[in-house]
């Protein structure tokens, strides 16, 4: 039940993370598109500002020309005024005939009228140029403000995009962790299923423990799982181990106590636990008897991982394997008390 709930929780978390990754991916795409649009808008504003700046330069050039024209008008007007003053002096002194004077007055008046018209035109042109310059300056200020605003918007969108990408990376990492945990859980489940099938014929307590062994990571299997007899030694090692073949290996005392309590609470049978971190280290023992038919010490006739070496020593280190019962009896006569002998045929 615990294993199934854990697996279901992992599956739900993975599904939730996948949905969040999809949502964040879409958000990142939207933010990127908004950023592109803002950049395009900004580029348009920059183009418009460049055009406005060019028009402003043209208007300023026209303004300068109008100023030059006005100065020329002033110079001409001053000349005409001087001529008019001179003519008036001549009239007052009587040094010219009336017909000639009238003609000159008309000419001067016509020139003055023309200059006045030109002056009005220049003034109107200056007014238009000044209005255009003011309008262009306002437009440039507005465009600069728009560009500054768009730059701020681009920075905001970039920050949002960076944040979304960071969240996306974090979720992908979390997704990878959850997927690994889920795969590990599935692998553990399959292993336990194989172990339960493998332990068919074992005691009910052993089978019950391995049905829920994921509760106790310290449980690593049975003695028979970790000790593998050499070729031709199967019967001898099975006889030497006896019921110990079904002992459950556990790395620490607390986990073993919890497993025993589980068996009692559920009335699931009995099981014997071997606490591997409490097993004694190998010690010296008598030399192997030099008797015909003696094969060797039982712990030397099996294969196991180095970390399980003390298991083999604790259970088989005081057992000698012989080819016949007579050889076994002879070997025990020369060995101290506490040693056992088995035959390769499985006799004890």
Distance (Å) of CA 201 to CA 50, 123, 198: 90, 117, 8
Q: What is the pLDDT of residues 133-143, one digit of tens each?
A: 777 777 777 77
Mean pLDDT computed over 73-101: 62
Rounded Cα distance, 325 and 270, in Å: 34
Q: What is the pLDDT of residues 88-145, one digit of tens each?
A: 666 565 555 555 656 766 776 777 777 677 767 777 777 777 787 777 777 777 777 7
Is residue 2 over pLDDT 50? no
What's 123-185 look like in SS3?
HHHHHHHHHHHHHHHHHHHHHHHHHHHHHHHHHHHHHHHHHHHHHHHHHHHHHHHHHHHHHHH
Rounded Cα distance, 80 and 116, in Å: 12
Tally of CB atoms within 10 A around 49:
17
> What confidence score (pLDDT) does residue 8 get?
63
Rounded Cα distance, 45 and 245, in Å: 84
pTM: predicted TM-score of the whole model, two decimal places:
0.45
Q: What is the pLDDT of residues 167-216, one digit of tens each?
A: 767 767 777 776 676 666 666 556 555 555 556 667 888 888 887 777 88
Rounded Cα distance, 271 and 208, in Å: 9
Using CB atoms within 10 Å of the CB of residue 138, give its burial: 0 to 12 exposed, 13 to 18 middle, 19+ buried. Answer: exposed
Q: Which CATH topology does 204-343 take? A: Taq DNA Polymerase; Chain T, domain 4 (1.20.1060)
Most confident by average pLDDT, 64-73, 106-115, 172-181, 245-254: 245-254
pLDDT classification of 326: cutoffs 50, 70, 90: very high
Rounded Cα distance, 348 and 345, in Å: 9
- Classify domain 2-188 at the CATH class level: mainly alpha
Residue 248, φ and ψ in degrees, nearest 5: -95, 130
What are the residue boundaries of the structural domains of the chain, listed by start? 2-188, 204-343
Between 71 and 309, the higher pLDDT residue = 309
Is residue 1 over pLDDT 50? no
How far is C-alpha 47 from the geometric centre of its chain's CA atoms? 39
Average pLDDT, the chain: 77
Is residue 222 over pLDDT 70? yes
- Give me the sign of the Cα torsion angle 132, 134, 136, 138: negative
pLDDT classification of 85: cutoffs 50, 70, 90: low
Tally of CB atoms within 10 A around 226:
19
């Amino acid at each position: 039940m615990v294993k199934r709930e854990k697996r279901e929780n992992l599956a739900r978390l993975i599904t939730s993370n996948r949905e969040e990754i999809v949502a964040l991916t879409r958000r990142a795409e939207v933010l990127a598109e908004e950023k592109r649009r803002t950049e395009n808008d900004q580029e348009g504003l920059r183009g418009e500002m460049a055009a406005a700046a060019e028009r402003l330069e043209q208007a300023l050039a026209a303004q300068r020309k109008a100023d030059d024209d006005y100065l020329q008008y002033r110079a001409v007007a001053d000349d005409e005024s001087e001529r008019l003053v001179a003519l008036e002096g001549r009239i007052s002194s009587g040094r010219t005939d009336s017909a000639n004077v009238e003609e000159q007055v008309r000419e001067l008046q016509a020139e003055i009228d023309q200059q006045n018209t030109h002056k009005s035109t220049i003034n109107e042109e200056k007014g238009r140029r000044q209005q255009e310059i003011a309008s262009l300056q306002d437009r440039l200020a507005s465009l600069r403000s728009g560009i500054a605003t768009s730059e701020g918007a681009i920075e905001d969108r970039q920050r949002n995009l960076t944040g979304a990408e960071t969240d996306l990376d974090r979720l992908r990492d979390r997704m990878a962790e959850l997927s690994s945990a889920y795969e590990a859980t599935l692998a553990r489940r399959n292993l336990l299923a194989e172990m339960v099938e493998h332990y068919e014929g074992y005691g009910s307590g052993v089978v019950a423990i391995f049905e829920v062994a994921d509760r106790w990571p310290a449980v690593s299997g049975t003695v028979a799982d970790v000790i593998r007899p050499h070729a031709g030694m199967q019967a001898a090692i099975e006889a030497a181990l006896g019921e110990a073949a079904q002992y459950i290996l556990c790395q620490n005392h607390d986990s073993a106590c919890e497993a025993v309590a589980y068996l009692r609470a559920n009335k699931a049978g009995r099981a014997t636990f071997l606490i591997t971190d409490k097993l004694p280290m190998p010690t010296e023992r008598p030399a192997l008897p030099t008797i015909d038919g003696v094969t060797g010490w039982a712990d030397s006739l099996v294969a196991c991982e180095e970390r399980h070496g003390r298991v083999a020593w604790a259970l088989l280190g005081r057992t000698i394997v012989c080819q016949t019962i007579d050889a076994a009896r002879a070997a025990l006569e020369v060995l101290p008390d506490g040693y056992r002998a088995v035959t390769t045929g499985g006799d004890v």
